Amino acid sequence: MSELSQNPDLKEINAYKKKLNWGDVPAIYHMAATSIGELDGIISHGFDSAYKRILNRNTWNLTLLGGYKDAQGNIEVKTRPQIALRHHYCQANYELHCYPIVDGVELHRNLFDDPNCPFTRWYPDATRMLFRISSLVSFMIYSFQSGDKADMLLIKYAYLRVKKLIDTLNESFDIVSVKGYNIAEFYQELHSRKSDAILNEIVDSQNEQPE
């Protein structure tokens, strides 16, 4: 592979990584790339996920949202459900969290059959985490310390995939806020401080939850 395309897909990035490393791809790269690859099928594949469940309009509070069926039998709403999103990081992984907005406030607890909740039932343990990229934080630390061009391309690809999934949510929901560093900002913050020793500080500052 002599040239990369302007916007390489995951398959092309993986091939480029193998070329740079003479076929010997580090395990941390493989773990991150595999998890990132799972995002590509989060909607199109049949696997259940919280991301797919919140997009299922049968789970919405149609009375609150003014729901109705169009001529084709599809559920439409007069008012889009309100949610807040948060980029969440731990020592190894990245997650996108979702919180319904009830009476103008983020919901952080179980709630069902409440007339003011945009979902008929909300169980944070099952639905708050929309998806996870396993080992992404560990991989960014590895890339910061000894990464190559393929590693940076993989981080950029992860950022773009998450952005696209948020854009898809924005088509159906009224997203009132997106809190925390996105993936690109998180890596830039790590890089600007010139040390992974302050990782705990960055993670803690991003994951502080309102009461």
DSSP code per residue over 137-195 = HHHHHHHHHH--HHHHHHHHHHHHHHHHHHHHHHHHSEEEEEES--HHHHHHHHHHTT-
Sign of CA dihedral 25, 29, 31, 32: negative
Question: Could you give the percent of the chain with pLDDT greater than 90?
Answer: 75
| 70: exposed, middle or buried (Cβ count in 10 Å: 0-12, 13-18, 19+) | exposed
**Residue 201 pLDDT > 90:** no
The size of the chain, in residues, is: 211
Q: How many domains does the structure of the chain reveal?
A: 1
Who has greater pLDDT, 165 or 201?
165
Is residue 192 domain-resident?
A: yes
Check if the beta carbon of residue 102 is closer than 8 Å to that of residue 176. Answer: no
Q: How many Cα atoms within 13 Å fall on the side-chain side of residue 101?
A: 14
Q: What percent of the chain has pLDDT over 70?
A: 89
- Domain extent, residue 150, equals 10-26+48-206
Whether 71 is in a domain gets the answer: yes
Decide which of 68 and 147 is more confident.
Answer: 68
Which amino acid is present at 42? I
pTM: 0.91
142 found inside a domain:
yes
Residue 199 inside a domain? The answer is: yes
Question: Residue 35 domain-assigned?
Answer: no
Phi, psi of 89, rounded to the nearest 5 degrees: -125, 145
Residue 21 lies in a domain: yes
Average confidence (pLDDT) over 75-94: 96
Query: What pLDDT is attached to residue 211?
Result: 40
pLDDT at 40 > cutoff 90:
no
What digits encode the pLDDT tens for the residues 91-126? 899 999 999 999 999 999 999 999 999 999 999 999
Q: What value does the CA radius of gyration of the chain take, rounded to a whole number of Å?
A: 19
In a domain? residue 41: no
Above 60 in pLDDT, residue 1?
Answer: no
Q: Would residue 174 count as lying in a domain?
A: yes
What number is the average pLDDT over the span 40-50?
78
37-41, 184-188, 195-199, range with the lowest pLDDT: 195-199
Q: Is the pLDDT of residue 197 over 70?
A: no
Lowest mean pLDDT among 27-41, 118-132, 153-167, 193-207: 193-207
